Structures are given as C-alpha cells and as structure tokens.
C-alpha cells in the first residue's frame, strides 16, 4: 500500500469494512486461520458479532505432534463453550498435519532469529493455505487470528494478506489488528477465566529447540 500506515491503519480498515457489512444487514461468512485457543479467545467472540465464523486449524509448523494435539483439543473445547454461551455455530476445520514437509520449507529461510525471515515464511505458508481453502469453499472473507499476538508484527501479516489478494485476484482478505483497543487485555481476561494452557514457545521445531535450550540454561542456574 502507498498510503502511510500509522499505528491504527489496519484497525481503521477493519472498522470501515464492518461499517459496510452493517449496511447490508447480512452476516457474511469468514474463515479464520486459527493457531490456538488463547489467540482465539477474544477474537472469536468479537468477529462472531458480524460474521458466520469458521476456524481453520492449519498449523503444520507446530512441533512436536503432541503439542499440535494439545493446542487443537483446547481450541475445540473452547469453541464448544463459546458456541453454547453465545448461541453460536462456530465450526473448526482441521487440516492435514505434515510437519516434516513444512519444516523443510522453513529451513531454507532459517535466519536463527525469532520474528525474522523464517517466521515471515511460516506466516506466508499457512496464510496461503488458508486463503486457498477460503476460496475453494466460497467464504466471503478470510483473515488470520495472529494479529492479536504481541509477538507478531501486524503490518507484516496484513501485507501478506494484501499480497494474497493480488496473487489470487480476489479481495476477501479482512485487514485487522486485533491487539488494538485493549484486545490483548480482553484476551488475557478470558485466558485467565478458562485457565488455558500456557504455551512456552511459538510452535515450530526451531522455537522448540530454543525453548529447550532456555530450560537447560535455567536448570544450570
């Protein structure tokens, strides 16, 4: 985008789009790339005010498989509770898990830095897969929950979304910055209420190794 991005740029874009939706008096469908229950905690509720929501758990980056299953099962349990509490019908789709293939692609971009090129490639791969699923199943919108995370750059994520619009000659990407307007505080309140699983690392095998190294160093101390 050529327009200067201030700190509320993507938040304002999301508000503008929701204002358009309200004028139609319809509830469009939205496919939300979802990495875990903590990130979805507040976002799922907020988006369900305006969209018929489906979650896509496509996260072959998560290593090992036991960790993948823990995060998926917690997301399923939380979604079930949210559906009951708010009288919703949010569905969860689970993609095939192929960690070996995914990490082979990531290893080509391993700059050994959390938040660097490796992480950007991880976002691109997962968001591309989810975008294609949204198009295949004729969703009105697609977005990722990851802009809620304080560890992830919302500008990078939204620029990936914009690139996907261009790649697939579509405009279904819903720009967002879920961490804005106390999104993280609202998430934390829900996470504490549900006593959600505290994740010790982002997810991939590289971050898992860093986590184990930290534990070992802490043990030696």
Q: What is the DSSP letter of 174?
A: -
In what side-by-side order are the strands of the sheet with 29-33?
91-94, 52-57, 29-33, 141-144
| C-alpha dist (Å) from residue 37 to 117, 154, 192 | 25, 19, 12
Q: What is the DSSP string of 26-67?
A: ---EEEEE---HHHHHHHHHHHTTTSEEEEEE--TTS-SHHH
Per-residue confidence at 2, pLDDT binned at 50, 70, 90? very low
The predicted pLDDT at position 178 comes to 97
Strand partners, 195: none
pLDDT in tens, 15-73: 999 999 999 999 999 999 999 999 999 999 999 999 999 999 999 999 999 999 999 99
Which tokens go with 7? 């700190």
Share of the chain above pLDDT 90, in %: 84
* Number of other CB atoms surrounding residue 24 within 10 Å: 8
This prediction has a pTM of: 0.94
Nearest residue to 28 (alpha-carbon basis) of 5, 51, 55, 3? 51
Q: Assign domain 9-220 to its CATH superfamily.
A: HUPs (3.40.50.620)
Strand partners, 170: none
Vertex 91 angle, CA 89 and 92, to 5°:
155
pLDDT in tens, 117-166: 999 999 999 999 999 999 999 999 999 999 999 889 999 999 999 999 99
Domain assignments of the chain as residue spans, ordered by start: 9-220
Terminal CA-to-CA distance of the chain, rounded, Å?
A: 48
Largest CA distance in the chain: 61
> Is residue 141 within 8 Å of residue 51, measured between CB atoms?
yes
The rounded distance, in Å, linking the Cα atoms of 24 and 178 is 23
């Amino acid at each position: 985008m050529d327009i200067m991005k201030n700190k509320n740029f993507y938040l304002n874009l999301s508000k503008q789009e929701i204002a358009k939706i309200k004028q139609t008096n319809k509830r469009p469908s939205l496919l939300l790339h979802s990495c875990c229950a903590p990130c979805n905690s507040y976002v799922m509720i907020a988006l369900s005010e305006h969209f018929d929501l489906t979650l896509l758990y496509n996260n072959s980056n998560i290593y090992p498989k036991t960790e993948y299953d823990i995060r998926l099962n917690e997301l399923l349990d939380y979604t079930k509770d949210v559906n009951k509490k708010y009288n919703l019908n949010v569905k969860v789709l689970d993609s095939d898990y192929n960690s070996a293939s995914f990490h082979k692609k990531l290893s080509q971009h391993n700059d050994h830095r959390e938040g660097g090129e490796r992480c950007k490639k991880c976002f691109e791969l997962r968001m591309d897969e989810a975008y294609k699923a949204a198009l295949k199943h004729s969703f009105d919108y697609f977005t990722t929950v990851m802009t809620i995370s304080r560890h992830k750059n919302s500008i990078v994520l939204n620029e990936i979304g914009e690139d996907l619009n261009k790649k697939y000659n579509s405009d279904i990407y819903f720009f967002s910055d879920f961490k804005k307007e106390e999104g993280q505080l609202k998430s934390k309140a829900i996470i504490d209420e549900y006593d959600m699983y505290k994740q010790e690392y982002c997810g991939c095998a590289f971050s898992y190794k860093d986590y184990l190294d930290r534990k070992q160093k802490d043990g030696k101390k």
